[in-house]
Chains A and B, each alone.
Chain A
């Protein structure tokens, strides 16, 4: 693997993890009674930007390099399901995250000040951001399994 693709893969992972941590920050703070709305907005924005960056960079690596160089190795190796289950599911589930994060950010930006008074809406958005975090964590774990399947 060239230095360019190694770097792209590392940046993709870093942005993905930053996105998950930022959304986990939103999730934890949404559970508080007194909401730090400014923090929620910024953390949610960082989550969205990180997921988009990870999406674009990982997408470039995936479309240009992975299919030609990595996929055949996994398919011929001991763990072909590393690609056929984990990579296939990961690449498509990853498409969810920017849209979910964008919806979460818009909700916090426009209705964030009203959430303390509207418990049902706060609860629904807490579950939404929790879903984003769980999906993000599944992405990260899938990435580890795929990397392991190549070796």
Chain B
């Protein structure tokens, strides 16, 4: 793949940062509902727990994107495979995250009590 190193790095950084953000949102959603001090802290810091989750996910995206944009570039022959693996990981993580969130709220609504 004749993709320049900077274009490859930024594309990989965006895909990986999104994967980390989605994982973070899934984790903090479940954790904050099970551990109320975390939810209260989010409310206290950001006025609403949902705003807090969004802002922190944005911070995770930015930090991970910066870290990945400094990571080494593979040889040209491996660039396309690396990017497609990152895109697959992001897709799979998003599907699992969505499933976890939906199942968690079904559990909270119908099965917890």
Question: How far, in angstroms, from A106 to B83 measured CA to CA in the complex?
Answer: 12
Chain A residues, Cβ within 8 Å of B61: 99, 102
- The tally of residues in B whose CB lies under 8 Å from a CB in A reads 43
Q: Looking across the interface, which residue of chain B has its beta carbon closest to that of A142?
A: B102
Question: Contact partner of B108 among A55, A59, A88, A99, CB < 8 A?
Answer: A88
Docked-complex contact A89 and B102, CB < 8 angstroms: yes
Is the contact region of chain A dominated by helix, strand, or loop, or is it mixed? Answer: helix
**A96 and B25 contact, CB distance less than 8 A:** yes
Map CB proximity to B onto A7-33 as digits: 1 under 8 Å, 0 otherwise.
000000000000000000000000000
Which residues of B, 1-26, contact A by the 8 Å Cβ criterion?
A: 1-3, 7-8, 10-11, 14-15, 17-18, 21-22, 25
**Whole-angstrom CA separation of A89 from B50 in the bound complex:** 12
Question: Is the CB–CB distance between B81 and A103 below 8 Å?
Answer: no
A49 within 8 A of B: no
Does A141 belong to the interface (CB within 8 Å)? no
Report the Cα distance A91→B94, complex, angstroms: 15
| Complex partner residue of B105 from A89, A103, A110, A127, CB under 8 angstroms | A89
Given the interface pairs A92-B25, A121-B80, the reply to whether A100 lies near B94 with Cβ below 8 Å is yes
Are A106 and B88 in touch, CB under 8 angstroms?
no
Q: A99-B61, A120-B84, A127-B88 are in contact. List 10 more A-B contacts (CB 8 A).
A: A80-B109, A81-B109, A85-B102, A96-B22, A96-B25, A106-B15, A107-B83, A110-B7, A118-B1, A131-B94
Q: Which residues of A contact B (CB under 8 A)?
A: 55, 59, 62-63, 67, 80-81, 84-85, 88-89, 91-93, 95-96, 99-100, 102-103, 106-107, 110-111, 114, 117-118, 120-121, 123-125, 127-128, 131, 135, 138
